[in-house]
Copies of this chain bind each other. A is one copy, B any other.
């Protein structure tokens, strides 16, 4: 089996600079761990078949829901249940660890100019 690798999240995040373009760093039980840098506003969407986990590594993330807004920072996480409409945003650059079902589009059920069809492995 060999020995599983150690994944350093800050090193992974330091390897790219563009926004809203998640990279895949590992797989876990049919899900993908992704890292992303974000700034500005994403587009409204939902993921009908997967929960989505957002853990902030640096900066502050906002997520707008139809019934309110959450803002959270390093060491804080939010799990967006499947089917829940949401719109992430960040006034300043924010670094994220995301977990999604394998192959799930970043814009879920609602493609936009920010959809990334394929994710790079880093």
Contacts of A69 in B (CB 8 A): 3
Contacts of A7 in B (CB 8 A): 76-79
Instruction: Report how far A28 CA is from B63 CA in the complex, Å.
Output: 18
Instruction: Report how far A93 CA is from B80 CA in the complex, Å.
Output: 31
Stretch touching chain B among A16-24, A37-45, A49-57, A107-115: A49-57
Number of copies: 2
Contacts of A103 in B (CB 8 A): none
Contacts of A53 in B (CB 8 A): 28, 33
> Which residues of A approach B to under 8 Å, CB–CB?
1-10, 26-31, 33, 50-51, 53, 57, 63, 65-70, 72, 75-81, 83-84, 99, 101
